[in-house]
Structure 1
């Protein structure tokens, strides 16, 4: 519960720094989105997430990183809720243990992204990137442990990797203009 509250606080901090909604994107913003999405394993998913969540028509890499961080914080929190429900509903003790292990991994990943969001808010992009740099290992551990036993969770793992890639790519591009 405490981690969800801090996730909510992190998300609010990020979202408060952005105002309004964009009705269309300018060419520079679209080019920046393409640069971020070209660094991911699912270009189309990245395009949809970034385009759908733009707050101004002219968006720099800083704002794209805000979108990526707020999106992944909410997604990881939702995935933790999903894992907790799967663990509660599972009758097999060994499967419950696997869900619990994955939940711990996703909880650790959430904490790292919360730290990254605070580093981002402070303008310490190097620390932000360091915080999220190795988070895919938690997803990989869950994929290895559970395999494809739950198709919805498999999809969540795949999407989480893309959102991590988006956060890394946009964070690395802060300061560059295209």
Structure 2
């Protein structure tokens, strides 16, 4: 009797396992296609892919991808803001301090707007979310433009990553079914 049960049950388990494995591969493939599509739109696709793979768990859904991108963008904005405040304090001349003051204000506002965006996403207020995210790149470009020739390679790298994170957030938000 046991062998009869085993002879029917074992093939069923095997078929179910194969189906589950193939379905999982399809899901992972679709997940990778989702983030690859987003990452094709940024300046540094490897940075984008690495970031998403570090902060997301399968399955990738647009709402979660957007939430993660906003959270990472906010964390980066906080780090950049602290860097800017320190650079402003360390600046030896008034002109450089004033230029960093522009960045200080801009990144401070961007942090507030990113917090609002995260709340809008949580509340499924997609119009406010889109509006919030559309404002943020300007703060980065305003800072870059203000610093001009006084910018440092580190600040350029920080700005590039911030832009990419903001693009990642914007593109992911556009994938949400509203």
Structure 2 match to 1:168: 170
Find the aligned partners of 1:37 and 1:143 in 2 and give their Cα distance.
Answer: 23
Render the CA deviation track for 1:21-42: whole Å, top value 9, x for unaligned.
xxx9811111111121122222
Render the CA deviation track for 1:121-162: whole Å, top value 9, x for unaligned.
101122101111022111111111112531111111111111
User: What RMSD, in angstroms, separates the aligned Cα atoms of the two structures?
Assistant: 1.7
Find the aligned partners of 2:58 and 2:123 in 1 and give their Cα distance.
Answer: 24
TM-score with structure 1 length normalisation? 0.80
Aligned partner of residue 120 in structure 1, secondary structure? helix
* Mapped contact 2:43–2:160 kept (Cα < 8 A): no
Out of 51, 59, 62, the residue aligned to residue 49 of structure 1 is 51
Larger radius of gyration: 2
Bigger RCO of structures 1 and 2 (CA < 8 A, at least 6 apart): 1
CA apart distance, 1:62: 1.0
Q: Aligned runs of 1:83-98 on 2, under 5 Å?
A: 83-98=84-99
Find the aligned partners of 2:88 and 2:42 in 1 and give their Cα distance.
Answer: 30
Find the aligned partners of 2:135 and 2:55 in 1 and give their Cα distance.
Answer: 25
Unaligned runs of at least 5 residues, structure 1 = 1-23
Q: Does 1:82 align with 2:59?
A: no
Greater share of residues in helix: 2
Structure 1 match to 2:122: 121
Query: How many residues are paired up?
Result: 152
Find the aligned partners of 1:155 and 1:146 in 2 and give their Cα distance.
Answer: 14
Unaligned runs of at least 5 residues, structure 2 = 1-24
